[in-house]
Amino acid sequence: MGKINKYKRLLSLTAFVLILSACGSNSSIFNGNIGNNMESGVPFSNEYSSPSELRRGDLMYLDFSSTKEVDLDFKNVESNAEFILVIGSANKNGIESTMQISSNFAAIVEKDVGLEMSYVPDEDIDYSADEVFSAWLRAAEFELAATEPLPQEYHLSEGKLAKAGYNNNIRSFRVLSSFLNVTSYTIVDGEIRCNRDNIVLYVDTRVGSDILTDEDIDNLCNIYDRTAGKEQELIGEASDINQDGKIAILLTPQVNKLGAMGGGIITGYFWAGDLYNVSSSNPASNQMEIIYAMVPDPNGNFGMAVSKDFVMSNLLPPLLAHELQHAISYNQHVFINGGPPEQNWLNEGISHLMEDIMGYGIEILLGTCCF
């Protein structure tokens, strides 16, 4: 009988995955979607409830949601069997996720995305979760621009509003659920909390008034509406795929969870996949101009504990200035001029410049000041 203790992590873990790697094999990469065959690597095709049943590439889930430890019976397991324990958070929403395990970061990047490594941070440098995630998204947008058909315009009539998941002021959103995968998503509900000239702001329905008050929302809306109008006048317009004339912002704890997956914090993100049709290669699209943002989480319920005062004074105010530049840049480079996206280093640099020009300065990330 073997015993695995529950680890105290930065986030509340709901599940571990135990995978049989190989018996006498030196293969270092395992990839694949559960239930799907892959051209290379070892596909995960079976789930079991006992280590003795596992064969190479199989997995079993260990649920830590309601107990402090889990007992595993290794009876009848071959003496040379090796197992990989993957720490993560299980989520049944959205679509199935792709998993790759490797000791070589470069191997995963090249195999999963097929992009030049120059777009992705050097693994030997201690980048923050925010920096790695941003670099990954910008890199993936090169592939997106080269392979996805130009988007249609989505005029949201009453019928289409219902089909898209709107219910009065509440609608469902697909939010990325993987730190390094732009096809895995989870579904969250967001409620419209303000609707201004240039922006519409949604708040995840799980976020109560004890976390974000009406005054908090009103202050953010004033900042974001001003920023969206001024920035587009200065450097060009964002696209308007859904023809509502606005930039949507969704405040959701799912962004906090993404940061925790990277061992830090992510303040927010823009992903150009939201501007294209929903497809098998682009399943997470919301078919609208949208920017996702974290929420205060003083108790660390969703990731790194971060106080409301710090989020509201340092992290959220400059966020739209930064992420909106990415949206504007993509529209100007890809949709209007028919070229590739801006080079990542310059794209990121201009976004930081926009924070300064809009009067907020660069956001102070926990990764550099408060870990």
* Total Cβ atoms within 10 A of residue 143: 15
How far CA 234 is from CA of 129, 274, 357, in Å, comes to 30, 23, 10
* Same domain, residue pair 156 and 223: yes
Q: Are residues 80 and 127 in the same domain?
A: no
Measured between alpha carbons, how far is residue 286 from residues 156, 210, 289 in Å? 12, 28, 8
DSSP string, 292-304: EE---BTT-SSSS
- Angle of helix 214-235 relative to helix 344-357, nearest 10 degrees? 120
Strand partners, 292: 250, 269
Tokens of 220: 């953010």
Residue 251 pairs in a beta bridge with: 203, 293
Are 65 and 129 contained in the same domain? no
Domain membership of residue 217 (yes or no) is yes
Residue 99 pLDDT: 56
**Is 103 within a domain?**
no
Is residue 107 included in any domain, yes or no?
A: no
**Counted domains in the chain:** 2
At residue 282, what are phi and psi to the nearest 5 degrees? -140, 65
Q: Of 107-121, 253-267, 274-288, which gets the smallest average pLDDT?
A: 107-121
The residue written with tokens 């609608």 in the block is 171
- Average pLDDT along the chain: 77
Phi/psi zone of residue 61: left (φ > 0), alpha (ψ -120 to 50 degrees), beta?
Answer: beta
* pLDDT band, very low/low/confident/very high, at 72 (cuts 50, 70, 90): confident
Helix 253-261 × helix 129-147 angle, to 10°: 100
Confidence of residue 185 (pLDDT cuts 50, 70, 90): very high
Average of per-residue pLDDT across 268-276:
97
- pLDDT at residue 159 is higher than 70: no
Q: Are 200 and 245 in contact (CB under 8 A)?
A: no
Could you tell me if 156 and 296 lie in one domain?
Answer: yes
Q: To which residue do tokens 């049943």 refer? A: 53
Give the amino acid at 148. E
Amino acid at residue number 356: D
Listed range (113-127, 328-342, 352-366) with the worst mean pLDDT: 113-127
Quickly count: other Cβ atoms within 10 Å of residue 59's Cβ. 21
- Going by C-alpha positions, the residue among 118, 82, 120 that lies closest to residue 101 is 82
Q: At 274, list the tokens.
A: 């939201």
Q: Does residue 37 share a domain with residue 153? A: no
List the single range of 38-42, 170-174, 177-181, 252-256 with lowest mean pLDDT.
Answer: 38-42
Least confident of 161-165, 249-253, 258-262, 333-337: 161-165
Identify whether residues 197 and 307 lie together within a single domain.
yes
The residue-averaged pLDDT of 330-348 equals: 94
Q: CA-CA distance, 369 to 10, in Å (whole number)? A: 17
**Residue 124 pLDDT level (bands cut at 50, 70, 90):** low
Radius of gyration of the chain (CA): 21
Q: Which helix (H) or strand (E) is 231 found in, with range?
A: helix 214-235
The answer to whether residues 76 and 163 belong to one domain is no
Asked if residue 30 has pLDDT above 60, the reply is no
Token pair of 72, please? 């595993």
- Answer yes or no: do 127 and 64 share one domain: no
Residues 187-208, mean pLDDT to the nearest whole number: 96
Q: Are residues 133 and 82 in the same domain?
A: no
Same domain, 64 and 171: no
Q: Which two tokens stand for residue 4?
A: 């695995």
Asked, for residue 96, whether it belongs to a domain, the answer is: no
Per-residue model confidence (pLDDT) at position 80: 82
Extract the tokens encoding 36: 């799907």
Cross-strand partners of 201? 194, 249
Structural domain includes residue 10: yes
Residue 321 pLDDT > 60: yes
Look at residue 342 and tell me whether its pLDDT is greater than 60: yes
The SS3 assignment for 328 reads helix
In a domain, 243, yes or no: yes
Q: Which residue range(s) make up the domain with 132?
A: 123-369
Q: 171 and 27, same structural domain?
A: no
